[in-house]
Amino acid sequence: MVLQFVYSHEDFLTHVHRPGDTTAQKPAPFDTVLRDGWTDIMDRGLFRYPLNDLQTRVLPGSHGYVAQLNIQRGVERRKPQEILSIRQEFNDKQFNFNKINPEEIICEMTKSAEPGKMLVLVNISPLEFGHCLFVPDPLQRSPQVLTKFAVKVGIESVFLSSDPGFRVGFNSLGAFASVNHLHLHGYYLNHELALESAAIEPLRPENGFYRLRNLHAAFVFYTEATSVEHVSENIRRVTDFLVTRNIAHNLFLTRGCAACDGKPSGTESSSRGGVRIFVWPRKSCFGAKEESAFNVALCELAGHLPFKNRTDFDGATEESVTEVISKYLLPEDEFVSLQQQLVEHLSKS
């Protein structure tokens, strides 16, 4: 029997702070279900490898890259599917989440009085503690293209957590997605990332739409708990726009500061009352990815660097990582042109 986790808007937490900025917060019911379920499944030996304490270091520099060594993920994980198109159709003959061991399921999430269900299962090749997958009703056999429901529950799961280190992300096809079956990733990372408080400039603030001023060129949405529905719809409009134009993309959802022109200070710098959603349009990468390589997907763009071999981990510098990441992003002129198109697109009711 699958555990049912039912939540409502009243369960959203709007006063979350970075660790060390306030007294420790009790785990929310969502965190308890996720952490306990994940740990129990690992203890029962269902993962491809045990996740021990990962060797971690923060690279010197303004970006604050968090590098981690996870060799087993590169060796033991399931071979990724060969991706040939951003709009590739779902193929029931390939691996999909209807073929998993039912014991890998943590729970089924539903929101009171709303349709739709989200299956939460462990990623048996984890990159960090609590690494799970959010799969909208897998029997719908949806390809790896975002829907409003997937975006909305992804944002809501961040609001349900009392841990500011809980993150959610999405890789489109052509942006290093490994399985063509709609899913998002969720995991805990006990390190602050620069993009949580980096300056963002308004593009269409009435749509919650901004641009990351520094770091890697990205579009940013910001939402408080009261505007999740509205912002989710606008994110879907942007990702649909990208899909129809065959532009690969990665998303990263994290607790973050409200929109500001410069880095906040004082209590503002520790407050994480809202959620920032980063959207990186990027160059497409097709075929099967090399698992031991430094593949630039949602984590790497966000500043969390999972390395799968010691040579890359030991030799990484902020300069070398930034150089690699920049090769996967759109040139500045293409990004600016896309920005103008998206502002116009969102301005249409």
Helices (H), 183-266: 228-244
Local structure of residue 185 (DSSP, 8 states): E
Other C-beta atoms closer than 10 Å to the C-beta of 83 total 24
Q: Give the Cα-Cα-Cα angle 43, 70, 106 (nearest 5 degrees).
A: 35
Which residues are identified as catalytic? Answer: 183
Are the C-beta atoms of residues 276 and 322 closer than 8 Å to each other?
no
User: What is the rounded distance in angstroms from the CA atom of residue 186 to the CA atom of residue 299?
Assistant: 11
292 vs 283: CA distance, rounded Å: 20
Q: Tokens 């990263």 appear where?
A: 252
Say which residues have a Cβ less than 8 Å from residue 82's Cβ, sequence separation at least 6.
Answer: 287, 288
Strands (E), 198-292: 200-204, 209-212, 219-223, 248-256, 274-282
**Burial class of 325 by CB neighbour count within 10 A (0 to 12, 13 to 18, 19+):** buried
Contact 291, 308 (CB under 8 A): yes
